[in-house]
Amino acid sequence: MAIDRIDHFDLLTGRGQNLDNIRRERLPAMIYRLVVWLDGRFAKNRSRRALADLDPRLLADVGISSDERRSELARGFLD
């Protein structure tokens, strides 16, 4: 007689579930969210590098002061 390990009781279905199976099912969604998050971080990094290349005339055109540019360029990858 095998005894199944129950880590979680689902109130909606009234069944016990093994968390390993739940994690395995959700892993692709977690990986997708991580990839989307990293893509956003890389996009911000690209825009900050583009901001570094703007001359003062173009900065004034988009309404960014040189101090604002410096503070934005000083931010880290995870900000």
pLDDT tens per residue, range 8-42: 555 666 666 666 666 667 778 888 888 889 999 99
List 9's β-bridge partners, or say none.
16
Measured CA to CA, the distance from residue 18 to residue 31 in angstroms comes to 21
Q: Give 45 or 14, the one with higher predicted confidence.
A: 45
25, two tokens: 């099912």
pLDDT confidence bin for 61, thresholds 50/70/90:
very high
The answer to whether residues 16 and 3 touch, using CB atoms and an 8 Å cutoff, is: no
Q: Which ranges of 1-79 would DSSP assign to H, the alpha helix?
A: 19-52, 56-62, 66-74
The answer to whether residues 18 and 4 touch, using CB atoms and an 8 Å cutoff, is: yes
pTM for this entry: 0.58
Measured CA to CA, the distance from residue 63 to residue 56 in angstroms comes to 10
